[in-house]
Amino acid sequence: MFLKQMRQKNGRINISFVQGYRDPITKKVTHKTIEKLGFVDEYEHLYEDPIEHFKQIAKLRTLEMQKEKQKREILLGSVYADEKLELDEDAMKLMGNLPLSSIYHELKLNQFIINRQRSLAMDYSLNDVMQLLVYTRILSPGSKRHSFAQKEKLAGSYNCEEFDVYRALDYFDRFKDDLLVHLHEQVRIHYKRRTAVVFYDVTNFYFEIDHEDNFRMKGMCKHNTRKPLVQMGLLLDEDAIPITYRLFKGNTHDSQTLMPLLRETRQSYGLGRIITVADKGLNSGDNVAFLMAKGDGFIFSQKIRGADQGLQDYVFDQSGYEDFKGVVKQVDAWVEREKNANTPAFFMKSRPYPQKFWVTHGDDKKRQIPLDVRQIVCYNELYAKRQKHKRAATIEKAQKIVDRPYRYNKADAKGALRYVKNIEYDPNTGECLDSKKKPFLDLEKIAEDEKYDGYYAIITSEIEMPPLEVVKAYHGLWEIEHSFRITKTDLQTRPIEVSLKQRINAHFLTCFISLLILRLLSRRLDEKYPPEQIINSLKEYKACHVTDNVYRVAYYDQVIQDLAEALNLTLNRRYLTTGDLRQLVADSKKEF
């Protein structure tokens, strides 16, 4: 730094502190004004020689800057060409847990778990085990043993041994319900949770075992396996942020999961009136009656195939349909891309209707009762094209079966048999039986299925709610399928390598918390990035050990930069000492 003097036309001398630096692009020395001091004559009454005075100050500031620079200087020392790698050496440090830690501590998970441990006699940290399991579930999913193996690779320290991880699962199961309520309260406080409309759906997870127990039981598996499984019901709020979940025995029908979960949630979570949005698997008379008896509402999809003749006539009667835009984003994008702006791609109509539902009464007998609902029927051109494309592949396979039936056993032909007539299989072996009957395509069945392409129906208790708003709310249901996909694919919830029921419960708890943190990170970034993209960036955000106590950050992208700004973390330093790393871990636990 030096004192720059500029003489003006009127003879006065303007002075300022200036710093010289080399431009990283042009490589030329450039000057930058640090502070403007004004004119020399303005200081003559204060100093005998103002110019000499400020020159001395410039020298002192330069010395201070050099000292500060020396503090920031990291000496890497020497490296030698003959240095060899150690066997199984891994010099990478996982840094993606820093943003995750910010949300973890914002939700006060650490306080909750530490308070629960106060009355327990143990020499390890339950909070550290929970962090370890949650962070590795996102950054490096695997078994509990695998998670423990990542302990030394994660930024920060975790006070536990491998056997402590399994013991901790038993404690997590004990306070699972209270912890879920705690999380809900923290989301309500920090993110103004909206629960006027909630989304609910069910999926299942199978186990790599052959025999059932009283929890893992065989049922309708969404992966078409014959393995024992558990059912999981998941509840999301209007912003697709998880509220709670519950596990059910594997043989529990989807429709039987809604009432138990909502009954417990309403009592513990203090929810007001809610409108539950769900798919047709949850559309049962008992669920409808339960919701309406509680003063709540519902938006359910309604099957058209197999529905009563009145609904089918209403669907296929083309009068009354109106074209709408802005309801389904994918359709609007497709219309714009395909330049079919004048071709109706999404249209709908609705009517109030006294629909009859089979409801179980106090004597355990089902009776039909009429309930006033609104029926909404929609046509989606893009959905129709997708159905036609899938059916074309099925018909192609059916034709191959017709041409050479002996090449396919019943398992291979599954699905395509819908469109094949006059074919028989051995019920024991599944092999195609010789028959005088010649197989042929069932053209009537194909034509019948084509009739439904693109159509779907919705029923709702909200008769006064504008139908367009009902349909928009229903289309938000895709977010719960998205959450299931994240849980199964990105978080790799299965294979589930624990067998005791309480440890299975704890395993799903850590997966739920991981999903919640990811959703909140996405919310912090104003939904700019989907959770999958955030996961990919966090996995790549690593530091490589260079020498002694020095690390070099090896990856930095726009997602990490945006996370750093949103969470008030410094994540763009190229070099870090172990002290710097400890400070970053500490910063990730502070309020932002």
Q: What is the per-residue pLDDT across 509-552, written as a single tens digit (0 to 9) for each?
A: 999 999 999 999 999 999 999 999 999 999 999 999 988 788 99
Q: What distance in Å separates the CA atoms of residue 281 and residue 240, rounded to the nearest whole number?
A: 20
pLDDT tens string 367-419:
889 889 999 999 998 899 999 999 999 999 999 988 888 888 887 887 888 89
Q: Band of the pLDDT at 508, cuts 50, 70, 90?
A: very high
Q: Is there a contact between 58 and 20 (Cβ–Cβ < 8 Å)?
A: no
- Range of lowest pLDDT (46-60, 417-431, 456-470): 417-431
Cβ neighbours of residue 13 closer than 8 Å, sequence gap 6 or more: 5, 6, 7, 39, 40, 41, 51
Q: Please name which of 415, 435, 436, 440 lies closest in space to residue 425, comparing C-alpha atoms.
A: 435
Q: Is there a contact between 244 and 270 (Cβ–Cβ < 8 Å)?
A: no
- Give the pLDDT of residue 26: 73
Tell me which DSSP letter residue 134 carries.
Answer: H
Domain positions in the chain are 2-72, 315-463
Q: What distance in Å separates the CA atoms of residue 104 and residue 530, rounded to the nearest whole number?
A: 19
Percent of the chain exceeding pLDDT 70 equals 98
Q: Please name which of 18, 42, 44 lies closest in space to residue 30, comparing C-alpha atoms.
A: 18
Q: Band of the pLDDT at 447, cuts 50, 70, 90?
A: very high
Q: Band of the pLDDT at 434, cuts 50, 70, 90?
A: confident
Pairing of strands 275-278, 197-206: parallel
SS3 content of the chain, % helix, strand, coil (to 5): 45, 20, 35
- Give the pLDDT of residue 340: 64
Stretch 243-263: mean pLDDT, rounded? 93
Q: Which amino acid is at 520?
A: L
Q: Band of the pLDDT at 504, cuts 50, 70, 90?
A: very high
Instruction: Count CB neighbours of 411 within 10 A.
Output: 8
- Give the pLDDT of residue 71: 66
CA dist list (Å): 153 to 7, 90, 93, 539: 60, 9, 5, 12
Helix 126-139, helix 109-117: angle, nearest 10:
140
pTM: 0.82
- Give the pLDDT of residue 462: 94
Instruction: Give strand ranges (E) for 8-71.
Output: 13-22, 29-39
Q: Please name which of 297, 280, 329, 308 lies closest in space to residue 456, comparing C-alpha atoms.
A: 280
- On the question of pLDDT at 338 being above 70, the answer is no
Stretch 312-333: mean pLDDT, rounded? 86
